[in-house]
Chains A and B, each alone.
Chain A
Amino acid sequence: MSSRRSGSGASRITDDQIIDLVAKLQQLLPELRNRRSNKASASKVLQETCNYVRSLHKEVDDLSDRLSRLLSTIDDDSPQASIIRNEFTQTFPIIEFLRVY
């Protein structure tokens, strides 16, 4: 899809780039990914992006909260503690564990 206009087509190329980038962004959004119409409006994509980023930030907050509570309660001798301590030497079980999830 090359520039269709004569003269300086710089702004026109940028428009196409933006359209492609918006489409690429749309694929990452859980709300819009499975839409039948493969193109949502750019403003809709931006809006969903903002919502999604905000929800991800909130999830990080929540998970940090839960994780900090859990970390303070695990016993030093428990297998969970050994995973977090020996994570460099026991990479294999971690990777396997991740694959299951």
Chain B
Amino acid sequence: MSPPQQPSSTNPNSLKIRLTHRFLHNLNNLNKKRSNLDNTQIHRRSHRVKLAAYASMARVVGSRRAWSRAILWKIRNRKVFTRNKRVDHKTTHHHHLARSIKRRTTNHSNHKREYVDPNGNSGQEVKLRKLVPGVETMDACGLLDETADYIKCLATQVEVMRNLVDLYSTI
């Protein structure tokens, strides 16, 4: 039985196809500036492809999700960062400080260092918040929901990349 209620954004075929298009588009842009792939060092080339992958994911999902918004935000700020290194260094520190103060006051009200959910686990949740972009200050429900979506998209992106590697490996 086909699942009719599945929204197109999470339908695996639609997501995979859209990710493929977007990722190929980004790779094409990389490819056009030949210097990006030929003359630069290997780890930089690889880093650019990796950025293209995360950018594709975030772009396809758009602003619908906290994790995609966080990635898009990081990409836009990265461009500013490379231009105004000194200024952004200060704002980054300020952001870190503001966020850590916020975290401290929140934990104070809970009388615990870490959030503990009804099942009594805390350590893993903190680790998860560091792994998934954009979920640092979310409640437990939001965190789980975002993580599920993030995993779906990430797994599909990996599939797309695997297909491309297979395609380009067969000569």
Contacts and interface: CB of A to CB of B under 8 A. Distances in A.
Q: Do A and B come from one complex?
A: yes
Interface of A: 14-15, 17-18, 21-22, 24-25, 28-29, 41-43, 46-47, 49-50, 52-54, 56-57, 59-61, 63-72, 74, 78, 80, 83-85, 87-88, 91, 94-95, 97-98, 101
Interface residues of B, number: 55
A60 B168 contact: no
Contact of A53 (B24, B30, B128, B168): B128
A18 B166 contact: no
B45 interface: yes
A31 to B, nearest CB: 12
A53 B165 contact: no
A18 B116 CA distance: 13
Lowest 3 A-B CB distances belong to which pairs?
A46-B124, A43-B121, A21-B144
A45 B151 CA distance: 13
Interface of B: 16-17, 20-21, 24-25, 27-28, 30-31, 37-38, 42, 45-50, 53-54, 117-121, 124-125, 127-128, 131-132, 140-141, 144-145, 147-148, 150-152, 154-155, 157-158, 161-169, 171
Contacts of A49: 124, 128, 147, 151
A89 to B, nearest CB: 12
B90 to A, nearest CB: 29
Given A67-B165, A70-B165, A83-B167, A56 B154 contact: yes
